Amino acid sequence: MGGTKGRGAVGLRGALGLRGAVGLRGALGLRGALGLRGALRCLTLALLCLGATSVGRAQPLEETFAAANEAAIRGDHAEAQAGYERLEQAGVLDADVAFDLGTVHAQQGRYGEAIRYFERALALRPGDDDAEASLESAHRALADRLAAREGEVELSESSGLGEAVVRGMSEPALAWSFLVLWVLLFVALGGWRMGKGRARLVGATAAVLLIGAVVTDGVLLATKRGVFRAGEPAVVVGDGARVLEGPDPRARERHRILEGQRVEITGREPGYVRVRGPQGERGWAAEEDIGAILPADPG
């Protein structure tokens, strides 16, 4: 549950440390635009487009992705952002599109939004080194900007110990290991029940150890799935969020949460979301100031 301290103003390129001032992947950091994964990304996006839309719309979405990459290459960040957002609106949920959105937001100095999308990239592809590095850099740049404006600040970068532990683990890997451990546990129990002498002792010992492993893996899997989470993970994307007593602009302000901070959305009203802040702050914030890390499940 660490934080990032800011102590002074620095330039965007220096603060972010992003190669070419755009990102970390390829010459411009755009995973689909350049680099070794370019051809594979096109195939992946095509499959995602087919899954998210009809076959007839898959080609236009590929063209949208290519056009967004070209806009980013020529430095038209607003046009690149609009292109990636069109993919989002079409139902394409992809780690590389999220990474590229984070990159173009960082280019425009919108670090809260950049942090949101780098967090999304990591949620979709745990352990991604580029996204981790970009997230850390965006936190650092935001902390420096806030420090120049408000004095020394510290931004919390983690929503909790459990979340930090499972951050680099994928849900499918945890699920598979949980299944394998259960199978091994049944084998060990069988050895204990049917074995004799030393074999029975070995089976019992293995069963005890495997029970511990099953419980541990189960807790990790539940944490990864958000079972212990109070609400949807989100990030303050506006220039600070006013936390109010109620979903009304006339309500008294309880707290103010800095841009880029992790929060949880625990309820919704028209134009407002109920949030829980990094220090346990609770109240209502304007919906436009809070960005969910993952889009809401339409189901």
Query: Do 90 and 204 reside in the same domain of the chain?
Result: no
Query: Do 14 and 136 reside in the same domain of the chain?
Result: yes
Alpha-carbon distance of 100 to 103, in angstroms, equals 5
Query: Do 122 and 206 reside in the same domain of the chain?
Result: no
**Per-residue pLDDT tens over the stretch 18-46:** 333 333 343 334 444 433 334 335 444 54
Domain finish residue from 156, 189, 207: 156
Is 80 in contact with 69 (CB distance < 8 Å)? yes
**Per-residue pLDDT tens over the stretch 55-76:** 445 558 888 888 998 998 988 9
Flag whether 299 is in a domain. no
Distances (CA, A) of 52 to 8, 56, 93, 254, 267: 44, 11, 9, 41, 28
Query: Do 180 and 149 reside in the same domain of the chain?
Result: no
Flag whether 60 is in a domain. yes
| Residue 13 CB contacts under 8 Å (≥ 6 apart), including other chains | 21
* Amino acid (one-letter) located at 22: V
CATH of the domain at 283: 2.30.30.40
Domain finish residue from 112, 127, 156: 156
- Flag the least confident range among 13-22, 90-99, 145-154, 165-174: 13-22
Query: Do 138 and 203 reside in the same domain of the chain?
Result: no
Query: Do 12 and 148 reside in the same domain of the chain?
Result: yes
Query: Do 126 and 16 reside in the same domain of the chain?
Result: yes
- Which structural domain range is residue 86 located in? 3-156
**Per-residue pLDDT tens over the stretch 174-201:** 789 889 989 998 888 888 888 888 888 8
* DSSP string of the chain, one letter each residue: --EEEE-S---HHHHH--BTTTBSSTTTS-TTTSSTTHHHHHHHHHHHHHHHS-HHHHHHHHHHHHHHHHHHHTT-HHHHHHHHHHHHHTT---HHHHHHHHHHHHHTT-HHHHHHHHHHHHHHSTT-HHHHHHHHHHHHHHHHHHHHHHSSEEEE--S-HHHHHHTTS-HHHHHHHHHHHHHHHHHHHHHHHH--THHHHHHHHHHHHHHHHHHHHHHHHHHHTTTT-SSEEEEE-SSSEEEESSSSTTSPEEEEE-TT-EEEEEEEETTEEEEE-TTS-EEEEEGGGEEESSPPP--
Flag whether 25 is in a domain. yes
Query: Do 142 and 175 reside in the same domain of the chain?
Result: no
Query: Do 202 and 134 reside in the same domain of the chain?
Result: no
CATH of the domain at 10: 1.25.40.10
Flag whether 225 is in a domain. no
Asked if the model's pLDDT at residue 298 lies above 50, the reply is no
Query: Do 211 and 79 reside in the same domain of the chain?
Result: no
Q: What's the sign of the alpha-carbon dihedral 207, 212, 216, 222?
A: positive
Flag whether 71 is in a domain. yes
Query: Do 132 and 52 reside in the same domain of the chain?
Result: yes
- How many Cβ atoms sit within 10 Å of the Cβ of residue 252? 9
pLDDT at 5: 53
Query: Do 122 and 50 reside in the same domain of the chain?
Result: yes
Task: Give the chain's domain count.
Answer: 3
Alpha-carbon distance of 124 to 131, in angstroms, equals 11
**Per-residue pLDDT tens over the stretch 98-157:** 999 999 999 999 999 999 999 999 989 988 999 999 999 999 999 998 888 776 666 655
Domain finish residue from 156, 190, 207: 156
pLDDT at 233: 92
* Amino acid (one-letter) located at 29: G
